[in-house]
Amino acid sequence: MAKKTVKKAVKKTAKKVVKKVLDSTELDEKIIAEYNEHKSTYDLVLCYINCYGAYVTAVGAGCMFGVNNWIGLGLLAVTAGWAWYVVCKCKPCKGGVTGSCCK
């Protein structure tokens, strides 16, 4: 019983300290300001990761087939899911406008 009380007190104190530190800093405001300052660059990087990230996992799957077939198969499944998601998001599967998500 005493252990639970001590754990609760420590957890409560830790939460207060973290909240106090976060309130005293302007970290979130600085991150948002940095993002807004270089928005186009960050968006371009995220777009390319979204569009071409499946290629990286496919290469990883090919390399892993030499080491462990199950891991290679898992990475291949991740690649297929990622590719399907990107294609359906950028070029809607059920009719609609075709185009690329990276403009």
User: How does pLDDT run across 50-95, given as a tens digit for each residue?
Assistant: 878 888 999 999 999 989 999 999 999 999 988 888 776 655 454 4
Verify that 98 and 50 share a domain, yes or no: yes
The C-alpha angle with vertex 57 and arms to 55 and 62, in degrees rounded to 5, equals 95
What is the biggest distance separating any 2 CA atoms in the chain, rounded to whole angstroms? Answer: 64
What total number of domains does the chain contain?
2
Q: Are residues 33 and 57 in the same domain?
A: no
Same domain, yes or no: 32 and 69: no
**pLDDT tens-digit map of 3-61:** 677 778 878 888 888 777 766 667 677 778 888 888 888 888 888 888 788 889 999 99
Determine the pLDDT at residue 12: 82
Q: What is the predicted pLDDT for the residue at 102?
A: 52
Are 89 and 59 within one domain?
yes
pLDDT of 74 = 93
Residue 25, φ and ψ in degrees, nearest 5: -100, 160
Q: Which residues constitute the domain of residue 6?
A: 1-37
**71 and 99 within one domain:** yes
Q: Tell me: do 63 and 21 sit in the same domain.
A: no
